[in-house]
Structure 1
Amino acid sequence: MAFLEINRLHKQYGNVEVLKGVDIAIEEGGFLVLVGPSGCGKSTLLNTIAGLEGITSGEISIDGTVVNDLHPSKRDIAMVFQSYALYPSMSVAENIAFGLEMRGVSKAEREEAIQGVAGMLQIEHLLKRRPGQLSGGQRQRVAMGRALVRDPKLFLFDEPLSNLDAKLRVDMRTEIKRLHQKLGTTIVYVTHDQIEAMTLATQIAVLKDGILQQVGSPDEVYSKPANMFVADFMGSPTMNLIEARIENGGDTLCVEIPQRERSLSLPVPQPPSSLHSYSGKSVVLGIRPEDITDPDGADPKAEHIAQAHCSVEVVEPTGADTFVVTQLGGKEVTGRMRNATGLSVGADVPFAFNMGKIHFFDPATELRIA
């Protein structure tokens, strides 16, 4: 039995259905990230796990106990909020210990617990300060310390890093990952940032309009997206999605991409059986920017590299890499090339396509074909 199980969960506000039959299960010690665009239902789902929101139907169980009707205080969870939710009149130490004090934990035990989490989070020197004297990152550490000190069964994080600047978000992301590896606690974490999801999670659940699109490991969600929404949402830059057509190329299949002058034809190596039924039909070709490179920068381990000349429309140096934009099938397509390629706008140059990493989607259902 999974440690956290969510079965056929529905949540309505009046006539508006916010969560539509969500099913998720994670094992003890897992790090589940709920990700999706604003309004997709991820924070509502987190709040139902916490007991802050009731559910319309379905079942939530934690460590084998159904918690549908349990008060939040009885669920043995700790929550870290986006807004930190610290008491401004209390010191850092008092904020961390407040929950323990309310539960009647002795002063000696509280002091020991405070020192333990303060050392873990490297905030010993802040214990006498008040929240107004702290930076955003320091406040977030205090909020995490208040959750950690309770040693609950389940930690819930609601977009805890969204108020921090870019560099501090990266630093805190590393701290959260390190803490999870050290403590082995079970965490459910909400974010709209797919980079956070990829770097932190052992399991990712992608939501859209209250419907669960896919659940899997970061590699599964990134490398085998269930549909076009997941393919487009996960990854930065996002996957290129190009209108194309499958044609029979004799011994194999080819994917034909319409161009102004002539179609671009790329061979599909070892096409799966599911793709053969699309011969002569339209598909959506998916390929990530890192799988479109300059020929010399192509993956040396790749077994199937196809080359085609394309016109350079935009060059975006980023330091380590250069993102290059061209047009394929009437859409802007981004490739990720080496820093020293020396490409210029308007040049017609060879692009290398890693055909072992391509994806196909049904244009009508938007579901993955192969």
Structure 2
Amino acid sequence: MSFLKISHLRKSYGALEILKDINIEIEQGGFLVLVGPSGCGKSTLLNTIAGLEPITSGEISINGRNVANLPPSQRDIAMVFQSYALYPNMTVAGNIAFGMEIRKVPKEIREKAIKDVSEILQIGHLLDRKPSQLSGGQRQRVAMGRALVRNPQVFLFDEPLSNLDAKLRVDMRTEIKRLHQRMKTTIVYVTHDQIEAMTLATKIAVLKDGVLQQFGSPAEIYNNPANMFVADFMGSPAMNLLNGTVRKNDNGGFSVALARASGEEILLPVAPGKEAVGQHLGKPVIFGIRPEALTDIEGADRNATTVAEGDCLIEVVEPAGSDTFAVTKLGGKEVVARLRADARIQSGQVARLAFNLDKAVFFDPQSQGRIA
């Protein structure tokens, strides 16, 4: 049974529709990440769940109860804001306990809650400090502590790590995941960072212009993108999306032809299970392949059923420590290949690359929807 269910939700400001028929369900203890570019509506959607924004139509149910018309105080949620929203004149302990004081929770219960939460978040030594005496990561922990003592049914996080530097973001990401595994509370988390979305979520909702593009597990979103937007947005480096043409093989199967920089073509067989591409015989398609599915011969996946090889002129080589990225051109576009760190490859040379076609996907260039 769904614990948090959003049904046919719409949100408009006058004639401007911000959220367009959003449908999302997540189980109790799930970690839902709302991801998309700036202005896609993800923070507005979070605010409607919180009750900070009224909805135009639709339903929001938490644990079987429709909360769409209830004020925030009656929804049993707790929110962690991007700005932390700490009271500068209060100590850490005071900030954590403030909500409980307002609700007139007895002092001994407040003190126990502060102690328990400070142990979980490892901020016990900071309880007497003011926010101005804390680092960004410590302030974030305090903001999380203030939400945790509420013991709500749903936690809402609005881009909580965006104000932190790169290393601290990674550290805090790990802390949030560890916290979720320990507390097993339902979380809805907004970010524009697709790496954050992939590493934290049990389910991801990808939004663009107020429309839900795809909803599924991180693996589903990454390996089986519903359209070109999802394919391009999720993944770093992004999926290679190349112009190709569908051809028929002598054996009755199909291949996709990609133009090389030299003007010649490279023919790549279509893997079993993707025969729907044949409906576009002789027509242009968009061929999508992740950088890790295009690699040096020795680094190719030995378990793949359909692997093709092709010679490619390498234009740029980018060593990245654990990997080496190589840039070539196919289908009239730049293509990024992800190679082993010790791959012997140089710019300006022709290298033989392996295409794992089990991982290839195909899109209609007109609708930009998935073909196979």
Alignment TM-score, normalising by the size of structure 1: 0.99
Q: Is 1:317 equivalent to 2:315 in the alignment?
A: no
Which residue of structure 1 lines up, in the alignment, with residue 41 of structure 2?
41
TM superposition shift of 1:271: 4.8
Aligned to 2:268: 266
Instruction: Check conservation: 1:287, 1:357, Cα contact below 8 A.
Output: yes
Can you give the 5+ residue segments of structure 2 that lack an aligned partner in the other structure? none
Matching of residue 112 in structure 1 with residue 95 in structure 2: no
Residues 303-342 of structure 1 show CA distances to partners (whole Å, capped at 9, x for unaligned) of 2211110101111110010000000011000000011123
Matched with 2:286 is 284
Q: Is the 8 A contact 1:253 1:271 kept in 2?
A: no
Q: CA offsets, 1:247-301, max 9 Å, x none?
A: 0012211110123421111111325342221111110000000000010111122
Q: Kindly indicate whether residue 354 of structure 2 is the aligned counterpart of residue 337 of structure 1.
A: no
Q: CA RMSD in A?
A: 0.8
In the other structure, the counterpart of 2:256 is 255
**Matched residue of 2:220: which SS?**
helix
Q: In 1, are the aligned partners of 2:254 and 2:275 still within 8 Å (CA)?
A: no
- Partner SS for 1:315: strand
| Residue number in structure 2 paired with 1:236 | 236
**CA distance in structure 2 between the partners assigned to 1:121 and 1:234 by the alignment:** 30
Structure 1 partner of 2:27: 27
State the AA in 1 paired with 2:126: L
Q: Displacement of 1:91 after TM fit? A: 0.1
Amino acid corresponding to residue 256 of structure 2 in structure 1: V
How many residue pairs get aligned? The number is 370
Counterpart AA for 1:210 = G
Percent of pairs with identical residues:
64
Q: Could you give the per-residue CA deviations for residues 89-143 of structure 1, whole angstroms, max 9, x where no partner exists?
A: 0000000000011111001000000000000000000000000000000000000
Tell me, what secondary structure is at the counterpart of 2:226? coil
Would the aligned equivalents of 2:327 and 2:336 in 1 still touch at CA under 8 Å? Answer: yes
Do the aligned partners of 1:247 and 1:254 also contact (CA within 8 Å) in 2? yes
How far apart, in 2, do the equivalents of 1:5 and 1:306 lie?
44
8 Å Cα contact 1:161/1:169 also seen in 2: yes
Q: Could you say what secondary structure the match of 1:100 adopts?
A: helix
Worse overlay, 107-116 or 291-300: 291-300
Given the two structures, how large is their TM-score scaled by the length of structure 2?
A: 0.98
Deviates more, 1:168-177 or 1:337-346: 337-346
Report the Cα offset of residue 29 of structure 1: 0.5
Partners of 1:340 and 1:273 in 2: how far apart? 36
- Structure 1 residue 345 displacement after superposition: 1.2
2:277 aligns with 275
Bigger Cα displacement from structure 2, 43-52 vs 254-263: 254-263
2:53 alignment partner in structure 1: 53
Cα distance, 1:302 vs structure 2:
1.6
The AA in structure 2 aligned to 1:291 is A
Structure 1 CA distance, aligned partners of 2:111 and 2:292? 51
